[in-house]
Amino acid sequence: MDLDIIEFLERELEEELPGEISHSKMYPLSEYKPKISDDHKIGCVLILLYPKNNEWHLLLVKRAHNESDSHSAQISFPGGKFEEKDYGYSDCALRETHEEVGLDPSTIGVIGELSSVYVYASNYLVFPFVGFTSSEPNFEPEEDEVEYIIEVPLSQLLDNKNIKNRSMTLSGDRKIDNVPYFNFKNEVVWGATAMMLSELKDVLIKSDLF
């Protein structure tokens, strides 16, 4: 599989990132700019790229239903809370990926980091890392955490036709209209995950590899 896109991302993620410019395209509310709480928690996620059917894909997971999880049953990247046993944020992302979908961290190359996103609903400041495997992974989802996995070709991320709008219900049963989201295989990907995807998309479209 051609590694040009991996080498491109490795270079671009060292440069200044679009950050809020990209995130704002997928804000659930036009005025969405929550102040980061002083007592916020740290979360880390992995945006995993891998080859499948001669095309680069990225991994998303449908979280299992859990009454105590404010992100229960939503679409996200594998990831979770930073713990004291983690050597660093990227190690946290790799550990959580191993726990959720069964991938050995030694098979994943971390190539860089996107801009952090503050998730007001759960009070997490989330650090997204981009990693890759050179061969198609064998996923083994942990059923207590992951209902199922979603494999998205990068070409679908870059296709503007997959950005749509709809009404959403937030915590507290607050309904908001005209919320932007990515529609991948009829799955609704919105909120913080969509903001991270938006930045990845804006970085990727700078290349001439698609």
The pTM score is 0.94
Q: What is the pLDDT of residue 208?
A: 84
pLDDT digits (tens, 9 = 90+) for 22-78: 999 999 877 667 789 999 999 999 999 999 999 999 999 999 976 555 555 789 999
141: nearest Cα among 61, 48, 81: 61
Q: What is the pLDDT of residue 168?
A: 87
Contact 78, 46 (CB under 8 A): yes
Dist. CA 98–CA 76, nearest whole Å: 15
Q: In what order do the strands lie in the sheet with 163-169?
A: 163-169, 175-184, 187-189
| Structure-block tokens of residue 16 | 């200044």
Q: Which CATH class is domain 4-204?
A: alpha beta
Contact 112, 13 (CB under 8 A): yes
200: nearest Cα among 1, 14, 23, 7: 23
Dist. CA 205–CA 80, nearest whole Å: 28
83: nearest Cα among 75, 94, 67, 71: 94
Dist. CA 121–CA 71, nearest whole Å: 9
Q: What is the pLDDT of residue 16?
A: 96
> What DSSP designation does 148 have?
E
Q: What is the pLDDT of residue 32?
A: 67
Dist. CA 188–CA 107, nearest whole Å: 29
Give the number of other CB atoms < 10 A from CB of residue 65. 9
Residue 175 has pLDDT above 60, yes or no: yes
Q: What is the pLDDT of residue 170?
A: 72
Q: What is the largest CA-CA distance in the chain?
A: 47
Contact 196, 128 (CB under 8 A): yes
Better pLDDT: 143 or 173: 143
